[in-house]
Amino acid sequence: MAVLGRGEGHGGISILHALGAGYGAAVSIDLSTRVQLRDSPVKKEPKDTHGLIQAVVEKWTDSGHPLPDAEELHWAVRSDIPIGRGLKSSAALAVACIRALCDATETDLENHQIVDIASDAQFACGCSFTGSVDDSWSAVESGWKVVDPNAPAANGVLMEGHIEDSDDWKILILDRGPRMIEPDPERFQLHAGQFQQAISAVEQENIFNAMIQNGRAVAAALGDASGRKACGDMSILGCRVSCISGSGPAIALILPEAQESSIRRVRQTIEPRDWNLIETNFRSGEA
């Protein structure tokens, strides 16, 4: 059994939800998905309910790129990004697979080309209403980007930047379990006014406030009253940001790294709720 190629993609936290805001934005975090492309079956087949990996292969060939010289292609996947929580696991998987194909075929792609293939694959397999262009950028590059989801990736970045003093912040992810409320595009559009507050904050490059406003709008669009309450509870404990990411149900908390007492209170508060707690940071380097 030979490893033909390897690739990695990263998770992210939402700043703007494209269904409600019209623009997408996400910031990259230090959670990752790693894949190996092999020429023989793997012990554990990847969990891929939407058929995203096959969609990536199809979009890869549709773009004119060669497949590895092997009779069979098999994928081994390792990830610390929970699936279906709003933390960009699909984008991370798509980007990791594309990078493995690049590695296996000695193909050099610009990051915007990777984003286009990843977004096309997510849209084609039905795991995204918009193609999740912003998610794919967060899987490829560190920092944050505001994108037009209807434009090619090379031309669709409207704003970008990095979180100031990113090493000074701790990110806690409250994993509330599998998604029970599926997003309804019409409900998101009905709450466009609330998403406008998040857009206004982004225009002033007040990214943390944008995340808060976006999270509130997402909670309203989903009818996720318990998520909205949980965000409020966490804010009282000293979190600078407490917001639903993506279409949920994960809640992202951002606190000063040095604020150990607040971090401890968060842990103590969620312990009886039986939620998984994931600790991470903003990503500052390239994959």
Query: Rounded to the nearest 5 degrees, what angle is found at the Cα of 186, between the Cα atoms of 116 and 181?
Result: 85
Same-domain check for residues 23 and 136: yes
Averaged confidence pLDDT in the chain: 95
Same-domain check for residues 185 and 155: no
Same-domain check for residues 35 and 141: yes
Looking only at the bridges linking them, the beta strands covering 169-175 and 276-280 are: antiparallel
Same-domain check for residues 60 and 150: yes
Which letter does DSSP use for residue 73 in this model?
A: -
Neighbours of 180 (CB within 10 A): 10
The confidence band for 1, taking pLDDT boundaries of 50, 70 and 90, is low
Q: Is residue 286 assigned to a domain?
A: no
Same-domain check for residues 66 and 137: yes
Total number of domains constituting the chain: 2
Same-domain check for residues 18 and 87: yes
Here the CATH number for the domain that contains residue 268 is: 3.30.70.890
Q: Is residue 287 assigned to a domain?
A: no
Q: How far apart are the first and last CA of the chain?
A: 26
Same-domain check for residues 94 and 150: yes
Which letter does DSSP use for residue 246 in this model?
A: T
pLDDT in tens, 13-64: 999 999 999 999 999 999 999 999 999 999 888 989 999 999 999 999 999 9
Same-domain check for residues 131 and 208: no
Q: What percent of the chain has pLDDT over 90?
A: 91
Here the CATH number for the domain that contains residue 35 is: 3.30.230.10
pLDDT in tens, 237-249: 999 999 999 999 9
pLDDT in tens, 106-154: 999 999 999 999 999 999 999 998 889 999 999 999 999 999 999 999 9
Q: Is residue 97 scored above 60 in pLDDT? A: yes
Domain limits at 72?
A: 3-161
